[in-house]
Every structure is written in structure tokens, then in C-alpha cells.
């Protein structure tokens, strides 16, 4: 991307890049938007620093990349139902998203991408780690790839690993259907619709079993896959500051919000973009 109208600095060998020299609050030309999208496909998660994106500008930016959708369990902020608050307050001990996952895979059509902007961050801590699921799949043995071919995973919004991380926000911002259980089946290995690459598509937060198998029968292989897919060499880590923005591709990357800032406040705004049924 030598002709990109901004600077691209890779964050790690596996995935992630910081994009500099672009003001996302501007009415960016289509060519710049296309170059940002290409950077996202190349690096799976991209980061921007020092962005001034009040809710209206954040939503306008999101619409340049896809169709914003509402999160099923939380109400959006006032006037912007597509934007939710991702927060941990000083008196809370569990953080939202503090488990490895791809966003809302319990939906029949999980989101394509997520935008997350930092409003308030702790003095230290509160980083997010991302993992490349192309590399996770590629590193599997040929025998394991044959085992997984054609398998489908069952994802549930009620899995304890995930549901406990949103309890504080449901108490403060819960939607009318906050206690509803959502379940969907997806391929364990999905093919990215834009790159054509295969990615491992189970996750610790939402996948409860393989289709046609019990949770007990599924547990050993799921445990292996969940540990394998977040090996250090597949990851990058991002330290937030106010005005930092991340955009990640949920179809091929997972993320984990580190909960290491007890007694401090962290507030973010998030938008997810409509995706397609995984194949």
C-alpha cells in the first residue's frame, strides 16, 4: 500500500497497524476510505490516534464502511441507538469483553467489523489484545484441518464466560430484551468473503459445543482450539489513550479486553457493522 494517503505502521508481526496522517472527522474522499478498508483487510485491525469523533461524527464514519446495527442487549446512547457505551467504573470488578471472542457470534449474521473509540482510560492498563484467526487456522496440522472440515459450532449468548462480563452494563443500560438467549450455528472454519482465506471461527466466550455433539463431548477439542487460537505469536496488543480508535474485522480476528485497572474508570463507545452469514 505504498500509494495509501496516510502512514501505515505495523504493530506486530501477526496483525495490527497504526494509520497516521488522517483525520477521520473529515469528509474523506472515497479513495481514502477504500485505502483504509484495504488496510483493514491486510492487517485485520487498524488503529488511529488523537481522533475527535463525537457521536455524530463516529456514526457518520461507521456508515462509510458498512451498515451500523444495534447491540441486542444494551440501549444505545441518547440519540444514537447504534452506539453503545463499553465501560468499567471504579466500583466494578468485571469488565465488558474480558474474555477472548469475536463479537456476537450468537447472531445468524454476526457483525463484519467493529469500531471502538476511547473516551476515558485508566492511568495504566485496560489494553486490548487481538488474535489473527487466519494464522490460527494455518498453524493447525493437516489432520486437524480434516477433522474440522464441515464441522459447525453452536454459539450462545448465555455462555457464562461472556454473560458475566456484560452484567454491570445490563443493570445500567440494559435493553428490553437484555435477558433473551440468542443461539446460532456457524462453520468452525469460515471463508472470508473478501479475501477468500480460511479462518478459525470458534471462541471461548460464545461457542458452547459442536453441532450434533454434547457440551461434554465437545469440551476437549474446544479447549484445545480456544487455547491454540490465541497463542502469543498470533497476537498484538494496543494501549489506548483518549481519542484512540480501533477498527477490527470480526470475520478473522478475535479480541480480549484486559481487566488490570481495578478502582479506575474506562469508558469507550462502540459501533458494530452488519455482516453476512458465515460460510
> Which element (helix H / strand E) includes 276?
none
Catalytic member of 152, 166, 269, 270 = 270
Catalytic member of 37, 103, 186, 206 = 103
Grid coordinates of 203: 471462541
Using CB atoms within 10 A of its CB, is residue 271 exposed (0-12), middle (13-18) or buried (19+)? buried
Is residue 255 part of the annotated active site? The answer reads yes
Residue from 210, 208, 206, 204 nearest 187 by CA: 210
Phi then psi for residue 33, to 5 deg, are -60, -45
Partner residues linked to 183 by β-bridges? 156
Contact present, 200 and 188 (Cβ < 8 Å)? yes
CA 248 to CA 238: how far, in whole Å? 12
Is residue 186 part of the annotated active site? The answer reads no
Residue with cell 455462555: 159
Is residue 269 part of the annotated active site? The answer reads no
Catalytic member of 43, 101, 152, 266 = 101
Q: Beta-carbon neighbour count of residue 169 at 10 Å?
A: 23
Contact present, 270 and 86 (Cβ < 8 Å)? yes
Q: Beta-carbon neighbour count of residue 214 at 10 Å?
A: 10
Is residue 103 part of the annotated active site? The answer reads yes
Query: Which residues are tagged catalytic?
Result: 101, 103, 255, 270
Amino acid at each position: 500500500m505504498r500509494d495509501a494517503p496516510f502512514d501505515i505502521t505495523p504493530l506486530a508481526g501477526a496483525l495490527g497497524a497504526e494509520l497516521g496522517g488522517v483525520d477521520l472527522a473529515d469528509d474523506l474522499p472515497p479513495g481514502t476510505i477504500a485505502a483504509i478498508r484495504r488496510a483493514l483487510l491486510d492487517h485485520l485491525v487498524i488503529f488511529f490516534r488523537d481522533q475527535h469523533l463525537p457521536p455524530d461524527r463516529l456514526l457518520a464514519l461507521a456508515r462509510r464502511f458498512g451498515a451500523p446495527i444495534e447491540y441486542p442487549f444494551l440501549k444505545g446512547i441518547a440519540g444514537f441507538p447504534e452506539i453503545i457505551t463499553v465501560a468499567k467504573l471504579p466500583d466494578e470488578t468485571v469488565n465488558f469483553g474480558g474474555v477472548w471472542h469475536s463479537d456476537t457470534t450468537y447472531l445468524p449474521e454476526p457483525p463484519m467489523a467493529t469500531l471502538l473509540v476511547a473516551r476515558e482510560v485508566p492511568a495504566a492498563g485496560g489494553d486490548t489484545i487481538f488474535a489473527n484467526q487466519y494464522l490460527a487456522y494455518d498453524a493447525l496440522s493437516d489432520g486437524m484441518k480434516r477433522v474440522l472440515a464441515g464441522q459447525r459450532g453452536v454459539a450462545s449468548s448465555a455462555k457464562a464466560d461472556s454473560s458475566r462480563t456484560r452484567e454491570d452494563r445490563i443493570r445500567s443500560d440494559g435493553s428490553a430484551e437484555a435477558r433473551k438467549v440468542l443461539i446460532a450455528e456457524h462453520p468452525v472454519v469460515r471463508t472470508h468473503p473478501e479475501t477468500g482465506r480460511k479462518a478459525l471461527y470458534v471462541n471461548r466466550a460464545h461457542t458452547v459445543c459442536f453441532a450434533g455433539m454434547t457440551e461434554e463431548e465437545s469440551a476437549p477439542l474446544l479447549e484445545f482450539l480456544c487455547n491454540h487460537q490465541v497463542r502469543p505469536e498470533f497476537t498484538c496488543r494496543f494501549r489506548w489513550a483518549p481519542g484512540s480508535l480501533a477498527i477490527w474485522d470480526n470475520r478473522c480476528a478475535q479480541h480480549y479486553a484486559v481487566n488490570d485497572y481495578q478502582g479506575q474508570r474506562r469508558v469507550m463507545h462502540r459501533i458494530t457493522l452488519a455482516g453476512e452469514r458465515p460460510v
